[in-house]
Amino acid sequence: MTGRDATPSPTSSGISLLTSRSTPHLTGWSHTVFGKHPEADLESLVAQAADEALSHAQLDAGELDAIYVGVFNAGMSAQAFEAALPGVGRPELARTPATRVENACATGSAALYAGLDVIQAGRARNVLVVGAEHMTAADPQTVNDSLLAASYRREEAAAGSFAGIFGQIAHTYFARYGDHSATLAEIAAKNHRNGVANPVAHMRKDLGVGFCNKVSDRNPLVAGPLRRTDCSMVSDGAAAVVLQSAEVAGGAPRAVRWRGRSHANDLLPLGRRRDVLELAGARAAFQGAMAEAGATLDDLSLLETHDCFTIAELLEYEAFGLAGPGKGAGALESGMVAPGGALPVNMSGGLKAKGHPIGATGVSQHVLAAVQLTGEAGDMQVPGAELAGVFNMGGAAVANYFSVLERVR
């Protein structure tokens, strides 16, 4: 994949998003265990997450003004019209206006931002957002084809899988900056080590750098230089949040607010970008959210970022300025991104260990940042966490969402 010179700048809608009528607050949440759930289906996962989030926020279903449901699906589930599912699991929600949102792997954040927008527009005060996916019931080829739909098929279908897309990106990185297989193994091992402390993670096992860095029968090459441990898992799960306007959030037992947020897009065809390793859309979303928050990297206590593949996390280090181009390994070598470092990354285990049920991921990331800010993260806790960054992307950094969250109480 080679870039082309005529590349438009990624666009961002992150200008003054939090200066209108009401700054939304996150006042309740829920998170199912991610993993294989053969006894569940999409409907039951949505119902569980919705019910638990409302209970956590101490909000009656009748007080809701809107519901947003994030589900990618793309053929993995026979049940469409997912917006209506909360009203199936809980009949008192059946008449609440509900909308399904989809934006590839950023589906969960897209649903969240839709909820934030309707509150800021003054059209709602209490909003439920549910992100969910049931992937493991589908056969592997169906899952593969569904995920590949988040690429530009006309030019990228030959990659064969979404892992193939990122395998080509990793190959480009290695060709330019040298073999970084060991760096990717360090990222995988870090996130699996972090995931041990996460009670809702799909895999709670410390795999170790040695295992992650060795090609074996248990850790085969999947695509290009990417091994199985470089790829996130196929998972089932759901997460939900309750959003409230500042005016009504005063009575909530807890509150986390958006200090800044930004959504920026980049070109879908990777071959038409100036530089496929630049992640220009991700950088634009980061810069927009941080500018709105009036914050710098030094102000962040932690970062939950989108490690669908380990090469993605490495490139995000560079896009967000943790290291220069080709120097992302330094963020690992210095201990910066490790627990206790200057900016711990993916204390939840990330998508790599936590799992990646597509529609649930963006909501999950915000929930796990919120528990850090409220001091409820248990063994994952970053001491004194004050400001959290959350990055979720759809496709290969095509749709990019960056949030800066802070605790209100």
Q: Tokens at residue 3, please?
A: 């870039």
* pLDDT for residue 2 is more than 50: no
Q: What is the mean pLDDT of residues 331-352?
A: 98
Out of 37, 105, 192, 366, pick the active-site residue: 105
pLDDT at 334: 98
pLDDT at 28: 98
Under the banding of pLDDT at 50, 70 and 90, the label for residue 22 is low
* pLDDT for residue 34 is more than 50: yes
356 counts as catalytic: yes
* pLDDT for residue 271 is more than 90: yes
For a pLDDT cut of 90, what percent of the chain falls above it? 94
For residue 34, give the nearest of 170, 153, 198 by alpha carbon. 198
**In sequence order, what are the residues at sequence separation of 6 or more whose Cβ sits closer than 8 angstroms to the Cβ of residue 26?**
241, 242, 243, 255, 256, 257, 258, 366, 370, 405
180 counts as catalytic: no
H or E element, residue 344 = none
User: For residue range 84-109, what is the model confidence (pLDDT) as tens digits?
Assistant: 999 999 999 999 999 999 999 999 99
* pLDDT for residue 4 is more than 50: no
5 or 81, which is more confident? 81
Q: How many residues does the chain have?
A: 409
Sign, Cα dihedral of 360, 191, 193, 407: negative
pLDDT at 20: 41
**Cα separation, 129 vs 93, whole angstroms:** 13
pLDDT at 19: 46
Out of 56, 180, 306, 356, pick the active-site residue: 356
* pLDDT for residue 3 is more than 90: no
